[in-house]
Amino acid sequence: MKKAILAAVIFIAMGLTATAQSKNETSKVSHLTYKEFLQKVWDFEKDSQTFVYKGKLPAIIDFYADWCGPCRKTAPVLEKLANEYDGKLLVYKINVDQERDLASVFRVSSIPALLFIPMKGQPMMQVGAMTEAQFKDVIAKHLVK
């Protein structure tokens, strides 16, 4: 009996792991570490006074935490937008619990905090959850024209 229960638990866990892996493989949203941020977005260690975007497409960066309710509501909206604007817009996520130093660079004290980065000009920060319509409005006005 114990062997059957253990086998069932292992089988279920393997299925959940495979599902999580397949979701990550198809996701257009990328998670950034401190080092990746410096390489892909802005190397503020070289020049902290002038924002110089390194990306080839406009971007949205979501500063979030797994325990944050509004962050969890924002996540599927960002996934949908990343798919809809694939090839026109990059969507990144930064976990503030894992990347505290990076969050402090942008003075993130409330989440979700969303950084909108146009190809030209300065990035814009928005604090709080946004609806899909609000995201699309910002994208149309400032990122993808």
Note the pLDDT tens digit of each residue in 99-108: 999 999 999 9
76: cis peptide before it, omega within 30°? no
pLDDT given at position 9:
36
Query: How many other CB atoms sit within 10 Å of the CB of residue 129?
Result: 17
pLDDT given at position 5:
45
CA distance 28 to 83: 6
pTM: 0.81
Q: Quick one: DSSP state of residue 13?
A: H
Catalytically annotated residues: 68, 71
What number does CATH give the domain 29-143? 3.40.30.10
Straight-line distance from the first to the last Cα atom of the chain, in angstroms, rounded to the nearest whole number: 62
Note the pLDDT tens digit of each residue in 20-63: 433 444 789 999 999 999 999 999 999 999 999 999 999 999 99
CA distance 96 to 115: 13
Encoded tokens for 89: 């817009």
Query: How many other CB atoms sit within 10 Å of the CB of residue 121?
Result: 10
Q: What is the mean pLDDT of the chain?
A: 87
Given a cut of 90, is residue 68 above it in pLDDT?
A: yes
pLDDT band at 141 (very low <50, low <70, confident <90, very high): very high
